Structure 1
Amino acid sequence: MRYLTAGESHGPQLTMIIEGLPSRVPFSKEKVDEELLRRQKGHGRGRRMQIESDEVQILSGIRFGMTTGAPVALAIENKDWAKWTEIMSPKPEQDEADKRRVSRPRPGHADLNGAIKYGHRDMRDVLERSSARETAARVAVGAVAKQLLEYCGIKVAGHVVRIGSVGTERLDLSRLTLDEIREKSEASLVRCLDPEAEQAMIREIDAAKAEGDSLGGVVEVIVENVPVGLGSYVHYDRKLDARITQAIVSINAFKGAEVGIGFEAGERKGSAVHDEILWSEEQGYYRKTNRLGGFEGGMTNGEPIVVRGVMKPIPTLYKPLQSVDIDSKEPFAASIERSDNCAVPAASVVAESVVAWEVAKALLETFTSDKAEDLLREVERRHQEVKGF
């Protein structure tokens, strides 16, 4: 299974093509739109989220609420396109486009190195595609993956564990179900499960905004009821934990990822890191703890997948950093292209989506998957094998 996205921040639409989905997977447009709406929420988001009201268009691959096995084509209209038709026109005329030419690269963005790589003297050709607007397409794709996982009894949830200097304790999954995590996260303006930390995060976001500054943070994604053996130990690029962490870092502004206790493992002795193996007639094999985040040897071990990603502060600031005009080579205060000062709550939704995609992809690689019924039968058989192995 694979997908492609196309589209610019101020172009007419975002386009997605998904290839390799089994036939007869139940599909709900409403569930995709719900995920797109979740991405647009969160304290600290800017005015663009008031302009756009994202809704997916289904162009192919879905009939009567089911996948057909053919490629699924989706689109999301950019409502702001009407104001940019001349500036972003594919026609040779450039009079209008010249009025919005970008020659001043913004620190922390792809502007300068992207322009050097592709030879663009107008860096709008870089920033339009490198924009985080593309994450709406990835959320739509992830929403499709979530529906496949849901069909197989696999649940995905995410939440925010840190914004700026305010963080929360590690989550005890024995005390909260994934449905409860999802409910609490949705009820929070910053997708934080701790009400006290939530209020402190909101105050910190507001203070940074008043200073013309921005904040980053840390998000966590959990995937539950994953069958044993997704991924592989036989070669580096088949290790699922590696693929998931790569997907996390591929999200705009993300700079790191960890599985389970992650970097904390480097501070502990082995006896306080590795998860002891137990067995019962009811569960089969299971782990006493889940410090390794559901992975051993690059494969899922049946425990919940737990992965975190760290997002840097948004680099566009209202107290702009120093830059250099590529035409005059003179110093200049970097220009402003967007007004978010904290997108961590929205980024947690994007993180859910990319993790869901990688798990769904690994599921289809591991089990027979031309038809949804065959896939479900194989997944259920694997769960039973764990009890009787």
Structure 2
Amino acid sequence: MRYLTAGESHGPQLTAILEGVPAGMPLSAQDINNELARRQKGYGRGRRMQIEKDQVNIAGGVRHGMTLGSPLALLVENKDWTHWTKVMGIEPISPDEQEEVKRKITRPRPGHADLNGGIKYGHRDLRNVLERSSARETTVRVAAGAVAKKLLNELGIKVAGHVMEIGGIIANDVSYSSIEELIEKTESSPVRCLDDEAAEKMMAAIDSAKKAGDSIGGVVEVIVEGMPAGIGSYVHYDRKLDAKIAMAVMSINAFKGVEFGLGFEMARKPGSEVHDEIAWSEEQGYYRKTNRLGGFEGGMTTGMPIVVKGVMKPIPTLYKPLKSVDIESKEEFTASIERSDSCAVPAASVVAESVVAWELANAITEQFNSDQFQRLKHDIAEYRKQSKDY
């Protein structure tokens, strides 16, 4: 499976083309819209979320609620486009219309792609960079992830995410009895946190940052249950599934770190407190007594829950802007303010679920016969049985 996205933050729409989704898999627009709605929620979101009510238009690849095996075309309209038709129009504009278009942006914002993108592509108007580098693009990545989550769910694999930390406030009580309980509790939390006491402090920290014209980041965790053992491969660097997931998480806007299981804590522990002892039972087959490695050994799944964390830096668009340099005059200035969130960590948790789900679905369809969904389900069931009896 693979996908491409296209579209700008204030363009007419965002588009994703998905290839390799098996034929005969149940899929509806509602499956995707549910995930899009989850991405738009969360304490600390900005005014853009009051404008956009993201809904997908499936323009290809599905007929009568079933995938066809041909590429899927997913379109999400930008409602804000109505206010940007002159600024972001497709056709050339006349000299008379130049005055109607907002001035070109020559002042790069610290922490954004503005300056580096301008240097790379030779743009003198940095709006040509910031429109595509915007986190708005994650809308259709969540749409693609929704398709992947549907495939995984049909195979008995469940994906969930939650917020571990915001602005230095760490969730301590993150226990849950089942992944269903995790989902239920986090869906009812404004910051997608399992720890109610920490959640209140997180919201207060977001309010404080907003009042100060600042922004805060945090840490999210994705949990996956039901993945068979042995998905991925140890034979080459680019076939290691944990490496692919790490790349996917790092590709999310503003993410700057990834870890599995105990992660960086492993550097401070002896091997006896890091590695997971192997056990076997007739009911379960092989399993690990602990899950400190987060469901991976040698680039392959162990059959234990996958546990991956990602750290999101504070959003760089601030209402108390930092200093920068104008690319035309080379003079120092105070960076311009674009409409922004004070904290997008809860929404980023949903995006993280989506990109992890995609990599898992891709690995499964790569490893098993995946032209027909029913055949895929049969092969996965047989593989699970063989793994248990090994």
Q: TM-score, normalised by structure 1?
A: 0.98
Residue pairs, 1:80-229, within 5 angstroms: 80-93=80-93, 95-96=98-99, 98-169=101-172, 171-172=174-175, 175-229=176-230
Query: 1:231 — aligned with what?
Result: 232
Kept in 1, the 8 Å contact 2:233–2:298? The answer is yes
In the alignment, structure 2 segments of 5+ residues that lack a partner are: none
Query: 1:340 — aligned with what?
Result: 341
Kept in 2, the 8 Å contact 1:226–1:302? The answer is yes
Quote the Cα distance in structure 2 between the aligned partners of 1:213 and 1:186.
Answer: 26
- Share of identical aligned residues, percent? 66
Does 2:319 align with 1:315?
no
**SS state of the match for residue 35, structure 2?**
helix
Does 2:281 align with 1:286?
no
Quote the Cα distance in structure 2 between the aligned partners of 1:171 and 1:126.
Answer: 39
Letter in 2 for 1:121: R
Does 2:245 align with 1:244?
yes
Kept in 1, the 8 Å contact 2:107–2:326? The answer is yes
Quote the Cα distance in structure 2 between the aligned partners of 1:342 and 1:52.
Answer: 18
In the alignment, structure 1 segments of 5+ residues that lack a partner are: none
Kept in 1, the 8 Å contact 2:86–2:101? The answer is no
Query: 1:51 — aligned with what?
Result: 51
Q: Shift of residue 197 of structure 1? A: 0.3
**SS state of the match for residue 104, structure 1?**
coil
**SS state of the match for residue 263, structure 1?**
helix
Does 2:384 align with 1:383?
yes
Quote the Cα distance in structure 1 between the aligned partners of 2:353 and 2:112.
Answer: 23
Does 2:24 align with 1:24?
yes
Q: Shift of residue 170 of structure 1? A: 7.5
Q: Shift of residue 209 of structure 1? A: 0.7
Kept in 2, the 8 Å contact 1:86–1:96? The answer is no
Quote the Cα distance in structure 2 between the aligned partners of 1:371 and 1:282.
Answer: 30
Letter in 2 for 1:3: Y
Q: Shift of residue 31 of structure 1? A: 1.7
Quote the Cα distance in structure 2 between the aligned partners of 1:169 and 1:383.
Answer: 35
Aligned length in residues: 387
Are the structure 2 counterparts of residues 96 and 14 from structure 1 closer, same or farther at C-alpha, using a change threshold of 3 Å? farther
Kept in 2, the 8 Å contact 1:87–1:100? The answer is no
Are the structure 2 counterparts of residues 238 and 96 from structure 1 closer, same or farther at C-alpha, using a change threshold of 3 Å? farther
Note the alpha carbon deviations across 1:14-65, whole angstroms, 9 max, x for none: 0110001110011021121010011011110000000000000010000010
**SS state of the match for residue 313, structure 1?**
coil
Letter in 2 for 1:135: T
Kept in 1, the 8 Å contact 2:368–2:380? The answer is yes
Note the alpha carbon deviations across 1:287-310, whole angstroms, 9 max, x for none: 000000000000001001100000
Quote the Cα distance in structure 1 between the aligned partners of 2:136 and 2:222.
Answer: 21
Quote the Cα distance in structure 2 between the aligned partners of 1:61 and 1:7.
Answer: 20
Letter in 2 for 1:50: Q
Q: Shift of residue 386 of structure 1? A: 2.2
Quote the Cα distance in structure 1 between the aligned partners of 2:177 and 2:31.
Answer: 23
Q: Shift of residue 339 of structure 1? A: 2.4
Quote the Cα distance in structure 2 between the aligned partners of 1:96 and 1:132.
Answer: 29
Letter in 2 for 1:134: E
Does 2:74 align with 1:74?
yes
Kept in 1, the 8 Å contact 2:22–2:69? The answer is yes
Letter in 1 for 2:6: A
Quote the Cα distance in structure 2 between the aligned partners of 1:28 and 1:63.
Answer: 10
Q: Shift of residue 91 of structure 1? A: 1.7
**SS state of the match for residue 59, structure 1?**
strand
Kept in 2, the 8 Å contact 1:26–1:67? The answer is yes
Q: Shift of residue 366 of structure 1? A: 1.0
CA RMSD of aligned residues (A): 1.0
Q: Shift of residue 89 of structure 1? A: 1.2
Letter in 1 for 2:308: V
Are the structure 2 counterparts of residues 25 and 97 from structure 1 closer, same or farther at C-alpha, using a change threshold of 3 Å? farther
Residue pairs, 1:264-303, within 5 angstroms: 264-303=265-304
Q: Shift of residue 96 of structure 1? A: 4.8
Quote the Cα distance in structure 2 between the aligned partners of 1:292 and 1:183.
Answer: 26
Query: 1:359 — aligned with what?
Result: 360
Quote the Cα distance in structure 1 between the aligned partners of 2:299 and 2:144.
Answer: 24
Quote the Cα distance in structure 2 between the aligned partners of 1:382 and 1:109.
Answer: 45
**SS state of the match for residue 5, structure 1?**
strand
Quote the Cα distance in structure 2 between the aligned partners of 1:97 and 1:294.
Answer: 55
Note the alpha carbon deviations across 1:170-198, whole angstroms, 9 max, x for none: 845xx421111111110000000000000
**SS state of the match for residue 73, structure 1?**
strand
Quote the Cα distance in structure 2 between the aligned partners of 1:322 and 1:52.
Answer: 31
Does 2:260 align with 1:259?
yes
Kept in 2, the 8 Å contact 1:88–1:97? The answer is no
**SS state of the match for residue 201, structure 1?**
helix
Kept in 1, the 8 Å contact 2:172–2:198? The answer is no
Kept in 2, the 8 Å contact 1:158–1:220? The answer is yes
